[in-house]
Amino acid sequence: MTAETSPSAITKQHKIIGLWLLTICVMVFAMVVLGGFTRLTESGLSMTDWRPVTGWFPPLTDAAWQAQFDGYRLSPEYQKINRGMSLAEFKEIFWLEYLHRLWGRLIGVAFAVPFVIFAAKKWLDRPLLIRLGGLFALGGLQGLIGWWMVKSGLVDHPDVSQYRLAVHLMMAFLILGVGLWFALDLLRTERSPVSTGFYRISTLTMGLVFLTAFTGALVAGLNAGLIYNTFPLMMGEFYPSEGFQLTPWYLNFFEDIPTVQFDHRWLAITTFVFVVLTWIQGRAAASHVRMRANCLLAAGILQVALGISTLLLMVPIPLAAAHQAGAVLLFASSVWLRHGLRHNSGG
């Protein structure tokens, strides 16, 4: 920004940039939902190559479709699960993964083009340029992580690594959370001084939501939601007796299905307890804080209901996808609330 730019012009520019960032956040949310459907329908391994520059268009000729299908027939998923699949059946799983990748490219364009325009107009001072440039870099890294994840399912086993799936999902959460925080900064949304206890518990709740989503990604990667479909006990036991059998011991938290599901369900309940405690703390705060706390509580109740229903009904695709979307909404609500607070000391 130039020295001659008036304060009112800067405010208008920041509002435009903030609204643009909110649009990017909505697009990222849609990307996560689409990614959930792609995973749940087992469509994610249908594209066995990655062409980040030239992959905008799907196969347009019969020969191109056959070449794409021939590549898929060499994959472990075809060899071990879908052997005998027809070309028509392949197209059904191809389109979801294609749309998922296409949407990712569109997010990149939706970010890059306005970013360049804002920079050319000198709307971005150095700190803002660095922040937005870093956010764009995270988006580019997410594309690489997505392909890194898919590659893990193209070697020996027809499933992606739960570790890589978790990294991919949490990077999406990070991008959305950072983008939302930057947008709220630019829109200059109200921030109220609150007690140390409220400030800390809201921060902890935001972290717990993020951590719970991470364990949810491990559950998804291991298909752990397809067993122990009872609640609150796991087939009559608080903790399954067949759990925690892996060595070294720490692998159980990431690879042992009973332990991973146990961790996720009770971490989710713990997180919900903190959501309620945060809401209670927020009842005495300013009106805009109460509104955000109410939204956090509503998102928490919805997410717990979706999670338990998904488990009891053995992971129906629409409900499981809604549960993943609910996790994003809960995280966004926690970020929105936390951003509206500042410590009494002025921090």
Radius of gyration (C-alpha) of the chain in whole angstroms:
22
Q: Which of 144, 127, 150 is nearest to 1 (CA)?
A: 127
Q: pLDDT of 222-259, one tens digit each?
A: 999 999 999 999 999 999 999 999 999 999 999 999 99
Q: pLDDT of 32-56, one tens digit each?
A: 999 999 999 999 999 998 888 778 8
Cis (ω within 30 of 0) for the bond into 59?
no
Instruction: Supply the pLDDT for residue 229.
Output: 95
Instruction: Supply the pLDDT for residue 343.
Output: 77
**C-alpha dihedral, 97 to 101 to 107 to 108, nearest 10°:** 170
Mean pLDDT for the chain overall? 93
6 pLDDT above the threshold of 80: no
Instruction: Supply the pLDDT for residue 5.
Output: 60
Q: Which of 279, 303, 302 is nearest to 291 (CA)?
A: 279
Instruction: Supply the pLDDT for residue 10.
Output: 65
Residue 157, sorted as left (phi over 0), alpha (psi -120 to 50) or beta, turns out to be beta
The residue type of 177 is G
Kindly indicate the confidence band of residue 201, based on its pLDDT and cuts at 50, 70 and 90. Answer: very high
The CA–CA distances, whole Å, from 290 to 32, 104, 215, 245, 274 equal 28, 35, 29, 46, 16
Whole-angstrom Cα distance, residue 249 to residue 114?
49
Read off the pTM: 0.93
How many other C-beta atoms lie within 10 A of the C-beta of residue 247?
8
Kindly indicate the confidence band of residue 9, based on its pLDDT and cuts at 50, 70 and 90. Answer: low
Residue 343 DSSP one-character state: E
Residue 151, sorted as left (phi over 0), alpha (psi -120 to 50) or beta, turns out to be alpha
2 pLDDT above the threshold of 70: no
How many other C-beta atoms lie within 10 A of the C-beta of residue 155?
10
**Segments making up each domain of the chain, as ranges:** 1-188, 190-347
**Residue for token digits 């690594």?**
161
Instruction: Supply the pLDDT for residue 285.
Output: 86
Structure tokens at 337: 């609330």
Main-chain dihedrals φ then ψ at residue 28, nearest 5 degrees: -65, -40
Instruction: Supply the pLDDT for residue 50.
Output: 87
Structure tokens at 148: 């890194």
Q: Name the H helices within the chain.
A: 7-40, 62-72, 76-80, 87-120, 126-151, 162-187, 196-221, 252-255, 257-282, 287-312, 317-339
Whole-angstrom Cα distance, residue 221 to residue 162?
4
Q: pLDDT of 79-126, one tens digit each?
A: 999 999 999 999 999 999 999 999 999 999 999 999 999 999 999 999
Q: pLDDT of 52-70, one tens digit each?
A: 877 889 999 999 999 999 9
Q: Calculate mean pLDDT across residues 320-340.
A: 97
Instruction: Supply the pLDDT for residue 345.
Output: 55
